[in-house]
Structure 1
Amino acid sequence: MEIAYWITAALLAAFYLYAGGMKVARSQEQLQPMMGWVDTVPMPLVRTIGTLELLGAAGLILPPLTGIAPWLAVAAAIGLALIQVGGIAVHLSRGEARLIGLNIALLVAAVATAWLGIAII
């Protein structure tokens, strides 16, 4: 179970470090081609989502690695799952149901990571 946790957590953390870093560092014009929804959401909210993704990535790895408050990894996974629920809602509200596949995959991975995290605490 512990190996499964580390695999899913590492993959999620890598994805969210990349995606969150882009949301924090890039302009709206740079994000627009790959994230069409940024034109309807205020940039401070995009930056907040990016920051939460970066914190979630750190939360998946650092607490279990250091042994300090490992329950935070479960909280991080749940938080990342909630971000994906919001992403699915945004896509559906924009009539982009065909674009929710990645959101669903990330949601499932985050829920699995939370479950694995609970099992190893």
Structure 2
Amino acid sequence: MNLALWIVAGLLATVLLVSTSKMFVPREKMAAMGGRAAQWVLDFSPGALRAIGALELLAAAGLILPAALDIAPVLVPVTAVCVALLFTGAAIMRLRRGERATIAADLVYLALAVFLAWGRFGPEPFTG
């Protein structure tokens, strides 16, 4: 179980790190490259996209570093809850935009974040 939780944490951290590209790539270029699934960026200002990207960067660090450095490892499940909230917001945004076909990935990442939070708060905490 511990190995599965580490794999999920690494996968989520990787997804979050890749998605921070919205901080550096102009939103028009991102929307053109990503097709229909990336059109949502046009609904947000560049500042809002940078803020979302910064939160994703912090989340990626919060899923791995506290446990790897053994400094406040309780932050891993707390971060997983925050990531679940982030992907809940993403799923709601996609529903409001009528993008039901592109919501699947957000729901998978949401489920992974919930699994990680449950696993680290419950059966496999870092302390105990």
Give the alignment's TM-score, normalised by structure 1. Answer: 0.93
| Aligned partners of 1:4 and 1:116 also within 8 Å | no
Aligned to 2:86: 83
SS in 1 for 2:63: helix
Letter in 2 for 1:10: G
Which of 59, 62, 80 aligns to 1:59? It is 62
The alignment partner of 1:68 has SS state of coil
Q: Which runs of 5+ in 2 are unaligned?
A: none
Deviations 1:59-117 (A, max 9, x none): 01000111111111111111111111111111111111121000000000111111122
Q: Which runs of 5+ in 1 are unaligned?
A: none
Shift of 1:10: 0.7
User: What secondary structure does 1:69 align onto?
Assistant: coil
- Corresponding residue for residue 120 of structure 1: 125
- 1:23–1:46 contact (8 Å) kept in structure 2: yes
| Paired AA for residue 96 in structure 1 | E
Aligned partners of 2:67 and 2:103: how far apart in 1? 30
Percent identity, please: 38
- Post-superposition CA distance 1:24-75 (Å, at most 9, x none): 1111112213211011111211111111111101101000111111111111
**Within 2, Cα distance between the matches of 1:63 and 1:99?**
32
Q: Which amino acid aligns with 1:9?
A: A
Aligned-partner Cα distance in 1 for 2:102–2:46: 21
User: Given that residues 77 and 111 in structure 1 are in contact (C-alpha distance below 8 angstroms), is that contact kept between their aligned partners in structure 2?
Assistant: yes
Distance 1:26 1:80 in 2: 22
Which contiguous aligned blocks of 4+ residues in structure 1 show a shift greater than 2 angstroms? none
- Kindly report the root-mean-square deviation, in angstroms, between the aligned alpha carbons of the 2 structures: 1.1
1:39 corresponds, among 30, 39, 42, to: 42
Distance 1:30 1:82 in 2: 27
Q: Aligned AA for 2:14?
A: A
